[in-house]
Amino acid sequence: MGIISRAFQGRPRDHDEKLPPGQYLVHDFPVLSAGPTPRVPLDRWEFAIDTPEGEVHRWSWEEFQALPQETPTVDLHCVTKWSKFGTEWKGVSLDVLMEDVESAAEYALAYSYGGYTTNLPLEDLLDGKAWIVHEFDGEELAPAHGGPARLLVPHLYLWKSAKWVKGIRLLNDDWPGFWETAGYHNYGDPWREQRYQGD
């Protein structure tokens, strides 16, 4: 057992450096659910960004698909302690979606079809750190994993990457979301192991 598993681990030191504290590596893609999986027909799908100044920007599925697409390959870290390396996605950078949005807001609340919400500082969505993705591993994103489209913010625990995302509300004040009001950490940095309130 010892010899075989060591051979298959490849270069453990590389893995150790990519694995945040308290995490273990998985090769499947676990699905955690806090409610029924929403089914959103693409002709009714819409994504919106609104600001406290009263601006609203909306994209239909066709408009969203016509935006410049990126193919990020990122590591995922779930607060339930599994991490998955090298996941391949396709979607639109928040930098593109935010290009024409004028606001002094410093906070963001992502909200989803089905009612889920999660909050994060606006700066964590910008500068190449976040995407709205609609393909995983070369295929359209399955509803169980958040399709038609989900937020992807890989530098924070995965609960921040809202499945079935419907929009992002920019806010002048922080507004804790679903898990953030239920005991989980307000920010959720895996490298600082910010799992629960008070961590």
Partner 1 sequence: MDQLDYQDGNALAGPLSEIFTLDVTTAHGTCAGCGRRGVLAELRVYGPEPGLVARCPGCEEVVLTLVRGPKDAWLDLRGSVSLRIPIAE
x/- contact string, 29-58, with partner 1 (CB under 8 A)? ---xxxxxx---------------------
Q: Strands, E, within 45-164: which ranges?
A: 46-50, 56-60, 73-77, 82-93, 107-112, 117-121, 131-136, 139-140, 150-152
Which residues in 114-133 contact partner 1 (CB under 8 A)? 115
Instruction: Put the strands of the sheet holding 117-121 in their side by side order.
Output: 56-60, 46-50, 165-171, 107-112, 117-121
CA distance linking residue 63 with residue 106, whole number of Å: 26
State the residue for tokens 């009001």.
Answer: 181
Which residues in 142-161 contact partner 1 (CB under 8 A)? 159
Q: Which of 77, 90, 169, 195 binds partner 1 (CB under 8 A)?
A: 195
Give least dist CB 115 to partner 1, A.
Answer: 8
Give least dist CB 163 to partner 1, A.
Answer: 13
Closer of 92 and 141 to partner 1 (Cβ): 141
